[in-house]
Amino acid sequence: MGMTNTPTAAPVSPAGAADPSRWLRAPRPRASAAARLVCFPHAGGTANAFTALSAALPEDVELLAVQYPGRQDRRGEPCAQDLSELASGVAEALAGHDDRPLFLLGHSMGALVAFETARLLEERGTVARLFVSAARPPAQDWQEPDLTLVGDEELTAGLRRLGGIPEPLLADPEVAGEILRLLRADHRALLRHRCAPDTRVAAPVTVLLASADPKNSLEQMADWARHTAGGHEIAALSGGHFALLERPGESAPPLTRRIREDLARPPASGTSGASGASGASGASAAQDAEPLADLVRELMLEGLAGRTPRLSTDLTALEAAAGEVMAPEAFAYVSGTAGSGATGRTNRTAFDRRRLVPRMLRGTRRTDTSVTLFGQRLPVPVLLAPLAAQQVAHPEGESATARAAAATGVPMVLSTFASRTLEEVAGAAGDHPRWFQLYLPSDRAVGESLVRRAEASGYGAIVVTVDATHLGFRPAELDSGYSPFLRGTGIANFTGDPAFRAGLPADADAKTTVLRWAQISTDPTLTWEDLAWLRGLTRLPLLVKGVLHPDDARLALEHGADGVVVSTHGGRQLDGGVSSLDALPAVRAAVGPDVPVLMDSGVRTGSDVVKALALGADAVLYGRPYVYGLGLDGQRGVEHVLRCLLTDLGLALALTGCASLADVGPHLLANGDRR
């Protein structure tokens, strides 16, 4: 495929390279270009497939097209037996082209070759971004047939349905025979390709998805997130499987915009070359994306193809949907509140009572949602709240949540009472920012061990929760007689802890272990002096979560806290209490403008986030909706929830005239709502 009568572009041969002329073609050489886009063709394709795209790119981007062996001027060479052979050849050929940032773009099978090439180039730090088009993630089963078993007529008919090859070429027996030969050879290499689910590149990934592509869907593309530590995004194109090549005028702008944004961004500290592919750069990529229209456009294009989202984009509707699919006792645990539920309702009422005032013609085409907390720049003012025992919602529990958080650029706060160990979750999160929430155990040796493990596993802060030293009276849980912890779910950080195991008898069974956990997991005798002890234990930033009274905020700072989280524990502790949003302004006034103040409880939408920021929060913790997404569709469900939230947040900022979070303040709220 991609066979045309266009003359083959001149080979590229920089001094010192290991014969790159066999592999690279420059349809339009641009010596002064600021960046190079290296393009990998599809199965059966040639370097000529990218000629039109090269012409559509601006002068500051030079396109280098890869020529696989076995075709055109390389016809005398045998076709590759494995995709790794192609990746090795291209990586070697690019050794002399690292004077400018390299962006890799692979179409269909070429996306896998580009992915493997990026892995080989990572040590040089020269891959700034990976673009993948019309290609399922590398660990997925591509469900491709063995084309050696498919006859010429059937295979040609399939090519006509898929598009991408002009009819005159398919009608020419000699040309068509060559296309089928290459296609079968490349497919043999494709069928041999294997990739582990946890294989990742450091560079961020942009997925180009055509709305009418019969071979790929938005759901399938979401799994590219697990194959990058630098963050991923999906850009929508109109057209079919070959939209990238058939519509160069539409394909070039999103590529160009992303390349220029990456070039303008300074490399993250600790990275080399132009890659910027660390956890920090992944956050920057998420922050600098254009969320205002991308998700909306994607879903509309999906709608044109007759596809609708698996989950509702109404984040307030997810609770009812999750209630239909989760086990009743698990749903009761996640959704339940204390007593009559008055605090939970008040949390929502506080948001509904306040109104944002839109502002017009402020030129807010893009919004900067980044925030700096404790010297760390985070891409969004949203962190995932520490919800316990997430395995009750989905078998992968917090590991799936951590992958989704990394994919969407949202930092995660892991609960002490997680169903996966903090080390497992750190592995799933990769380089993405994460904090650890601590319930301080009555056994101080166990508490110290948990802190040391969090430090060793790359958690960036300790969030000590102080409002749950006594268990709230929660009828939904009590009526079902259900506690995940007493059934062994949510205590992994204890059963995997050496200090905790040291307190167990050698022959301890599951019941003994759970009873020991119940005895020491929290401490109702805690005082502010215990916070001072914890402060002396670690140099990590220390936040106190569960503060609602301004005096408690002052006491937290006096005893060593670096910040506070205004929280009602999601309404799960004290029935009839004040809402977090109502308590927020007084807490902010008590600690002053420079102390980080976060809040949670009742946050559901992007507008809610803006209201919290307007009343004094630096960021919010986002809770139940993402767990409902987890219960509904695992990692993809969490990603869906977070993409919806961040899109809504970006639009809320733009519609209130805010180009960045620095523009947010009480003036965004209607008179009377500013307290």
Active-site residue list? 569
Angle at 518 between CA 447 and CA 537, to 5 degrees: 5
Which amino acid is residue 167, in one-letter code?
Answer: E
Strand blocks (E) in 398-541: 412-414, 434-438, 462-465
- The Cα diameter of the chain in Å comes to 85
CA gap 648, 294 in Å, rounded: 11
Give, in order, the Cα–Cα distances in Å from 106 to each of 16, 38, 62, 100, 531: 26, 8, 16, 19, 53
Q: Which residue type does 15 have? A: A
Q: Which two tokens stand for residue 254?
A: 């999103």
* Cα(402)–Cα(424) distance, integer angstroms: 10
Burial of 175 (0-12, 13-18, 19+ CB in 10 A): middle
What one-character-per-residue DSSP string does 169-225 give? HHHSHHHHHHHHHHHHHHHHHHHH----TT--BSS-EEEEEETT-TT--HHHHGGGG
Q: What is the DSSP letter of 585?
A: H
Name, in order, each residue with C-beta under 8 angstroms of 460's C-beta and a sequence gap of 6 or more. 374, 376, 433, 434, 435, 540, 541
Backbone angles phi, psi at 447, to 5 degrees: -60, -45
Nearest to 570 by CA among 403, 425, 415: 415
Cβ atoms of 622 and 384 closer than 8 Å: yes
Interstrand relation of 371-373 and 376-378 (parallel, antiparallel or unpaired):
antiparallel
CA count, 13 A, side-chain hemisphere, 338: 19
Rounded to an integer, what is the distance from CA 605 to the centroid of its chain? 18
- Distances, alpha carbon 588 to alpha carbons 608, 614, 660, 665, in Å: 18, 11, 20, 13
The encoded tokens of residue 207 equal: 């997925």
Distance CA 605, CA 428 (A): 26
How many other CB atoms are there within 10 angstroms of residue 360's CB atom? 6
Give the list of residues 6+ apart from residue 352 with CB closer than 8 angstroms, or none: none
